[in-house]
Structure 1
Amino acid sequence: MDNSPGNSGTGRDTDVDLLADSSFSGGFALYDTEAGEYTQYQIMVARSGLYRIHYQARGTGAWTLSSEGKVLAENSAGGSSDWQTLSSAPVYLTDGLQTLRLSFTAAGAELDYLELSYDEPLTHDPHSAVDNMGIGINLGNTLDAYPNEGDWAPAAQQVYFKAFKEAGFAHVRIPATWDDHTAETPPYAVDEARMDRTEQIVDWALAQGYFVMLNAHHEIWLKEDYQSPATRERFDAIWQQISERFANKSARLVLEILNEPVGMSMEQVNDLNPRILGIIREHNPDRLVVISSNDYTPVSGLAGIDLPADEQLIGNFHSYDPWAFAGQCTRRWGSDADKEELRAIYQTASNWASTQGLPVMVNEFGAAHYDYNQPENVCNPDDRLAYLREHVNLATEFGVAASVWDDAGSFGIYNRAEDTWGPAKDILVAPNAR
């Protein structure tokens, strides 16, 4: 079994018969198989991602190849008496030790070989990545809730990421807050269960084939006390552990240094960004990294970023402009002046990107159904849809990837409890808005 890129593995036969013949690819083939027989392979997957399984088979039997109960490939009964070379659809494998089980479900199958080939790029150019990221969605209030996942929204489920893919979203942003899961004394270890859970959720998302963004989100302790050496050391340690744990993930995983550094000066952010980028680069030399300014990362903040000398960066800003409409629901939206103000934001972002030679994205935009702090303030639903449509149209026009904010609450797009979508979904992914 070939296990590219850089994978290694061993096999163990249980009950199945081997036929030796120099004409076979490895000198042997499985033959005279019976229902209920199986063989297992242990492989060390060097890099997570989408793989194709190639195999040469013949006979009238049937078999499945699975990992942890998930079927990766199968060959149904009624096959040809001649050898056929076939390939599976892309399947996702996480990095690390995997056990593949080849189970025969009907007698008569013969199998010459199985091969794995990596089915996605090892790196992504930031410009083409942003083009492919298109319109995405945030899994807000899940891993960014503190102290525990799901405190502000339903806990993550695998079905959410399948729903995002089926709806037509091209990337998912996973906000994550690390404070309550990290020790307060050196070496500032992140809780292993939290790291395992984060990796599980990231793998669920990557398995869908789109780009995935993971960040450090509500790190208020850092933003309020950045001048403390111990605070900076703790944040550095968190990113050291994140960068090591996710180093072998698909290149579709994008890391975002820090969300909305409210309370930090631009000087502090320009101190933080290159330091954390250097930590990430120790284990992720080519991974895409999102870099932002301070405060709530308005588009005007892009001009204040001291960009490190790095070719794998994506600039970022947020836009809920005007907040009186999009967040507080105290005014209407949709006049020509409103649209021109929004266009000016995207034009500013586009000008900055052209000047810097970097692509840019808005990894939070959206409009509330109602003001979370004053629920009696309700946004006009038609204005809200028009506002989202304008964001999508402008993002598409200016080549800006955009992630709508969905918090399973006042900014909800997808009803996680019922697995249903509101009318905003068709606007966000509509072909005529791209």
Structure 2
Amino acid sequence: MAWGGDDKSWGFPNFFGSPSAVSPIRLERMQRGVNLSHWFAQVDERHGSSPEHFRHYITTRDLELLQAIALDHVRLPVNPEFLFDMDQPDKLLPEALASLDEAIALILAHHLAVIVDLHPDPEFKEALRTGDQFVDTFGQFWHTFARHLSHYDPDWLFLEILNEPEIHQSEHWAAIQQRLIEQVRSAAPDHTLIATGDNWSAVADLVALEPLADHNIVYNFHFYDPSVFTHQGADWAYPAWFHLRGVPYPSHPQAIAKLLPQVADEDARYALREYGDQRWHRGKIETKIQQVAAWAKQHNVKVICNEFGVFKYYVDALDRAQWLRDVRQTLENQQIGWTMWDYAGGFALVLNADKERQLDPIVVQALGLTKAAF
């Protein structure tokens, strides 16, 4: 089983008495998964948030591919703005909700568990950070949404409070998360919740979090270290990433020296040189993830890494596969479940994301999955 923490807390006899009381059945269904991004969140202008997009972006064939490689769950990012009116947070918008229910039913029909992840845009999270009233509004919505989702079998559907909070103050985020969890729990008393640390849910953000009083929670972190490698060529967040191409993994100064003459941007050159000097390899990845395992053991809670991946367009495919393998094996060795980012986006598990999708055999192998689907 792929879970951090003290295994003695798994059984039902101590369900209400132990620091972690998450059903072992549910833990088994959150070991190996993938994010279904760009379906109900991160929807670009080409697709729009239309019923047509919601109905056809992920199909029966896609889910059959995931079944064939023995994944046990998916994480379903959902932009809350698709579902509620700020002026009426106790009401769900019926058209988008019907599309979401249809999607969840399709996933469950393929015997995949689903993490429903509230995944808003940065502006939404900024409103949470700066407006106490907005936290209350969002809490009212979460209560209404959780009450709707509570009708799904709690052994198959899990509720994630918020993706990468970006509150930028850990105590403030802890207070917000506590308020949201109280609203969710009052509407869905039996469902397992997914909580996280502040900012971008990194290792340091999680280990700074004091676990909550609710015992039916799994704690989540994201792993993209080192970002110079995993986000090379990306045109969002840190501008230096965009100027990087062909950054190798593992790293050492000699390999990086060959790339430096090709990089004109000063910040990118600095980041690249630092990456070489840090000598990133599996051992450094293990050291980082061991911090989470130690935190989980200290607090006797369960953890999952529900995002990790490499932006694929400017990286050597074999280097990407090596990083994925190193992270995945480290997580499994530490008994931590994982959910790769993502299925058909820029970090994809598939080839030809906009055409008839086929699994990328190099990635499938790096993830230690079966090859029956291709």
> Residue 130 of structure 1 corresponds to which residue in structure 2?
27
Q: How does 1:9-408 map to 2 (within 5 A)?
A: 125-126=22-23, 129-146=26-43, 148=49, 155-187=57-89, 189-226=91-128, 227-251=130-154, 252-328=156-232, 330=244, 331-334=247-250, 337-370=280-313, 378-406=314-342, 408=344
Label 1:283 to 1:401 Cα distance change in 2 as closer, same or farther (>3 A). Answer: same
Q: Do the aligned partners of 1:364 and 1:403 also contact (CA within 8 Å) in 2? A: yes
Quick one: higher RCO (CA 8 Å, sep 6+), 1 or 2? 2
* Structure 2: stretches of 5+ with no match in the other structure: 1-20, 234-243, 252-278
Worse-matched range after superposition: 217-226 or 254-263: 217-226
1:324 is paired with a residue whose SS is helix
Q: Do the aligned partners of 2:69 and 2:370 also contact (CA within 8 Å) in 1? A: no
Q: Do the aligned partners of 2:32 and 2:339 also contact (CA within 8 Å) in 1? A: yes
Tell me, yes or no, if structure 1 residue 409 matches structure 2 residue 352: no
> Residue 84 of structure 1 corresponds to which residue in structure 2?
none
Shift in Å, 1:191: 1.1
Q: Do the aligned partners of 2:218 and 2:301 also contact (CA within 8 Å) in 1? A: yes
Q: Do the aligned partners of 2:221 and 2:306 also contact (CA within 8 Å) in 1? A: yes
Label 1:273 to 1:183 Cα distance change in 2 as closer, same or farther (>3 A). Answer: same
CA shift digits 1:138-171 (9 cap, x unpaired): 0011111346268799623233222211221121
1:225 is paired with a residue whose SS is helix
Q: Do the aligned partners of 1:141 and 1:153 also contact (CA within 8 Å) in 2? A: no
Amino acid in the other structure paired with 1:236: G
1:419 to 351, 354, 357: 357
Identity %: 21
CA–CA distance in 2 between the matches of 1:174 and 1:127? Answer: 21
Q: Do the aligned partners of 1:239 and 1:280 also contact (CA within 8 Å) in 2? A: yes
Q: Do the aligned partners of 1:222 and 1:231 also contact (CA within 8 Å) in 2? A: no
CA shift digits 1:157-207 (9 cap, x unpaired): 233222211221121000010124421213453311111111111111122
CA–CA distance in 1 between the matches of 2:168 and 2:124? Answer: 9
Label 1:189 to 1:239 Cα distance change in 2 as closer, same or farther (>3 A). Answer: same
2:26 is paired with a residue whose SS is helix
Shift in Å, 1:133: 2.1
Q: Do the aligned partners of 1:135 and 1:402 also contact (CA within 8 Å) in 2? A: yes
Higher percent of residues as strand: 1
Work out which of the two has the higher radius of gyration on C-alpha atoms and give 1 or 2: 1
CA RMSD of aligned residues (A): 2.5
Q: Do the aligned partners of 1:131 and 1:399 also contact (CA within 8 Å) in 2? A: no
Amino acid in the other structure paired with 2:365: D
Shift in Å, 1:303: 2.2
Structure 1 residue runs of 4 or more that deviate by more than 4 Å after TM superposition: 149-154
CA shift digits 1:356-378 (9 cap, x unpaired): 111111100001112xxxxxxx1
1:172 is paired with a residue whose SS is strand
> Residue 265 of structure 2 corresponds to which residue in structure 1?
none
Shift in Å, 1:233: 2.4
Label 1:180 to 1:221 Cα distance change in 2 as closer, same or farther (>3 A). Answer: farther
Label 1:369 to 1:151 Cα distance change in 2 as closer, same or farther (>3 A). Answer: farther
CA–CA distance in 1 between the matches of 2:24 and 2:296? Answer: 10
> TM-score, normalised to structure 1's length?
0.65
CA–CA distance in 2 between the matches of 1:263 and 1:271? Answer: 11
